[in-house]
C-alpha cells in the first residue's frame, strides 16, 4: 500500500504543528507523522494526568480545521523507501508514503549519563518521569530527588508536585554564578521570567550533582556532591536529566549534514539534502518558542513563500539568543563524565560495563568487542552517553529504524521487485 503527499512532516510537536499550519494555506497535501498517540510531542505530551497549555490546544484545533492536512499518530518511520519515500507502520498496517518535500521535526532525547546505581528500579530520566506521570503513573506521597542540569529539572519537579509527590531536592550541576547570570538575562524573555517564578522550588541547589543511587533491589536513596560535600538523601525516586540530544537518526539516514550533534540548516531551515528541511530541537535545543518559529519558517519555505519565512527571522533570532544562554550557562561540568565506576553499566540492554568500553578507539570497535548498542534500544541511550564520555560519533543508522512487522518490511522487497 502506498500514498503520496506534497509535504510530509515527521513529528507533531511544536515545530511540526507550526510547520503544518504555515504550509496549509497553500493548499498543499500535507501529512504529519508522529509516534505518539496524540499530537504535541514530548513538551506537550497528552495523557491521563496531563494538563495541556492553551496554546497547544489552540494549535490542535487549528490543525484539525485544515482539510488538506492529515495527522497520522502512533506511526513510526521504519525505513527509507526510494529517493523520496518513507516506509511507515502504525498499530494496524505498514505502508509507503512518497513526498515532494520533507520537514524533519523529530525533536530530541534526554542525555542520560551513567553513574553507580543508575539502573536501579526507581531511577529514570527527568523528562521520562514527567512523561510517565502524564501517562498515569501514581507518585502521590513519594519522596523525589531530581539531579542534572537545565530548566527541565524544574518543569519535571512541578509536574511531580502537582500530582502529589514530595520533591526533596533539585540538584543543578551548574554553579551558582552561571545560574545567576542566566537569571539576570531572563527579563529579555518576559514569559520565561514569569515561568521561572512559577517553577521556583525551595529545594533547588546549584553546584550540586549526583554521585550514586543507593539501594539493593530498588532505589532507597541518593548520594549527592553539594558544593564539594557529600550528603545522602532517602527517597523512592530519582530523576536525572543532563540536557537533550537532538534526534538526528532519520536525518543521518537521509545523508543530511550534521553540525555538532544537530541537523545543519540554513536561514530557511533547509538541510544540506535537497527538499529536506529541519526545525525544532533536532536542529538544536532552544525550547518550544524557538521550535514554533523555526517550524513556521520551514513550512513557509517548503511551499515557496520566502517573504513570509523571512518575516520571522528576527523572532527566531530573539529565541536563538535564549537557546545560546541555555547552552552557555548550563554547560555540563567535566566531572560528570567521570561519575561511572569500572563496573558501572553503560549499555543496560547488553550489560556492558564502563571498563569494557574505556579502552576502545571508537563506537564500531566497541560494538564488535562488547555488543554495546546492539540491544533493544539500538544505542539510543548508550550511544549518546558514549559520545559524551568518549567523544565517539555513532554511525548512521541502518533500517529498520525501529522494530517492525515482517509484512511491513516485505513492502520494501515488493517495491524493489516492481522497479
pLDDT of 357-371, one tens digit each? 998 999 999 999 999
Domain ranges in the chain?
Answer: 2-109+245-326, 112-242, 340-419
Has domain 112-242 been given CATH number 3.50.50.60? yes
- Whole-number mean pLDDT of the chain? 92
CA dist., res. 116 & res. 130, Å (int): 23
Do 2-109+245-326 and 112-242 agree at the fold level?
Answer: yes
Is the pLDDT assigned to residue 397 strictly greater than 90? no
The answer to whether the beta carbons of residues 20 and 63 sit under 8 Å apart is yes
Is the pLDDT assigned to residue 205 strictly greater than 70? yes
Three cell numbers written together for 214: 543507593
By CB neighbour count within 10 A (0-12 exposed, 13-18 middle, 19+ buried), where does 54 fall?
exposed
CB environment 152-186: b (16+ within 10 A), e (fewer): bbbbbbbbbeebebebebbbbbbeeebbeebeebb
Which residues have a Cβ under 8 Å from the Cβ of 364 and sit 6 or more positions away?
Answer: 395
Distances, alpha carbon 79 to alpha carbons 82, 250, 253, 286, in Å: 10, 9, 9, 28
When pLDDT is averaged across residues 41-69 and rounded to a whole number, the result is: 87
The answer to whether the beta carbons of residues 94 and 404 sit under 8 Å apart is yes
The answer to whether the beta carbons of residues 16 and 41 sit under 8 Å apart is yes
Q: What is the pLDDT of residues 302-322, one digit of tens each?
A: 999 999 999 999 999 999 999
Q: What is the pLDDT of residues 272-302, one digit of tens each?
A: 999 999 999 999 988 899 999 999 999 999 9
CA dist., res. 43 & res. 52, Å (int): 9
Distances, alpha carbon 143 to alpha carbons 34, 169, 304, 309, 347, in Å: 34, 9, 53, 47, 28
- Other C-beta atoms lying within 10 Å of the C-beta of residue 4: 14
When pLDDT is averaged across residues 262-279 and rounded to a whole number, the result is: 98
Tell which residue, 87, 133, 97, has the closest CA to residue 399: 87
CA dist., res. 4 & res. 9, Å (int): 13
CATH of 2-109+245-326, picked from 3.50.50.60, 2.20.25.10, 3.40.50.620, 3.40.50.300, is: 3.50.50.60
Q: What is the pLDDT of residues 170-197, one digit of tens each?
A: 999 999 999 999 989 988 888 887 777 7
DSSP string, 374-414: -STTTTTTHHHHHHHHH---PPPP-S-SS---HHHHHHHHH
By CB neighbour count within 10 A (0-12 exposed, 13-18 middle, 19+ buried), where does 70 fall?
middle
pTM reported for the whole predicted model? 0.94
CA dist., res. 109 & res. 132, Å (int): 15
Could you give the residue ranges of the DSSP H alpha helices within 238-362? 249-254, 288-302, 306-310, 313-329, 354-357
Amino acid at each position: 500500500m502506498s500514498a503520496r503527499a506534497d509535504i510530509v512532516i515527521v513529528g507533531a510537536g511544536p515545530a511540526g504543528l507550526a510547520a503544518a499550519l504555515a504550509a496549509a494555506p497553500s493548499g498543499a497535501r500535507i501529512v504529519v507523522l508522529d509516534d505518539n498517540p496524540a499530537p504535541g510531542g514530548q513538551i506537550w505530551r497528552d495523557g491521563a494526568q496531563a494538563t495541556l497549555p492553551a496554546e497547544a490546544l489552540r494549535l490542535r484545533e487549528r490543525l484539525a480545521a485544515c482539510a488538506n492536512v492529515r495527522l497520522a499518530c502512533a506511526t513510526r518511520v521504519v525505513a527509507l523507501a526510494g529517493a523520496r519515500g518513507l516506509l511507515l507502520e502504525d498499530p494496524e498496517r505498514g505502508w509507503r508514503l512518497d513526498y515532494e518535500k520533507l520537514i524533519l521535526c523529530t525533536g530530541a532525547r534526554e542525555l542520560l549519563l551513567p553513574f553507580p546505581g543508575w539502573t536501579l528500579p526507581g531511577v529514570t530520566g527527568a523528562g521520562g518521569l514527567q512523561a510517565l506521570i502524564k501517562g498515569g503513573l501514581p507518585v502521590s506521597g513519594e519522596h523525589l530527588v531530581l539531579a542534572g542540569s537545565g530548566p527541565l529539572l524544574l518543569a519535571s519537579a512541578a509536574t511531580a508536585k502537582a500530582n502529589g509527590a514530595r520533591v526533596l531536592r533539585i540538584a543543578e550541576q551548574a554553579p551558582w554564578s552561571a545560574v545567576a547570570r542566566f537569571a539576570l538575562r531572563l527579563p529579555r524573555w518576559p514569559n520565561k521570567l514569569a515561568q521561572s517564578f512559577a517553577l521556583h522550588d525551595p529545594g533547588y541547589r546549584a553546584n550540586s550533582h549526583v554521585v550514586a543511587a543507593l539501594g539493593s533491589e530498588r532505589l532507597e536513596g541518593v548520594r549527592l556532591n553539594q558544593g564539594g560535600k557529600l550528603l545522602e538523601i532517602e527517597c523512592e525516586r530519582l530523576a536525572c536529566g543532563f540536557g537533550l540530544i537532538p534526534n538526528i537518526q532519520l536525518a543521518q539516514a537521509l545523508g543530511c549534514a550534521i553540525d555538532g550533534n544537530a541537523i545543519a540548516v540554513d536561514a530557511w531551515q533547509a538541510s544540506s539534502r535537497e527538499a529536506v528541511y529541519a526545525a525544532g530541537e533536532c536542529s538544536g535545543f532552544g525550547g518550544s518558542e524557538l521550535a514554533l518559529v523555526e517550524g513556521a519558517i520551514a513550512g513557509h519555505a517548503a511551499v515557496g513563500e520566502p517573504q513570509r519565512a523571512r518575516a520571522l527571522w528576527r523572532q527566531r533570532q530573539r529565541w536563538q539568543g535564549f537557546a545560546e544562554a541555555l547552552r552557555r550557562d548550563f554547560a555540563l561540568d567535566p566531572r560528570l563524565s567521570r561519575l561511572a565506576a569500572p563496573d558501572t553499566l553503560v549499555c543496560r540492554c547488553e550489560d556492558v560495563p564502563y571498563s569494557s568500553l574505556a579502552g576502545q578507539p571508537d563506537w564500531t570497535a566497541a560494538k564488535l568487542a562488547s555488543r554495546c548498542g546492539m540491544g533493544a534500544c539500538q544505542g539510543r541511550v548508550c550511544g549518546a552517553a558514549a559520545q559524551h564520555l568518549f567523544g565517539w560519533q555513532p554511525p548512521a543508522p541502518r533500517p529498520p529504524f525501529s522494530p517492525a512487522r515482517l509484512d511491513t518490511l516485505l513492502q520494501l522487497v515488493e517495491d524493489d521487485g516492481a522497479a
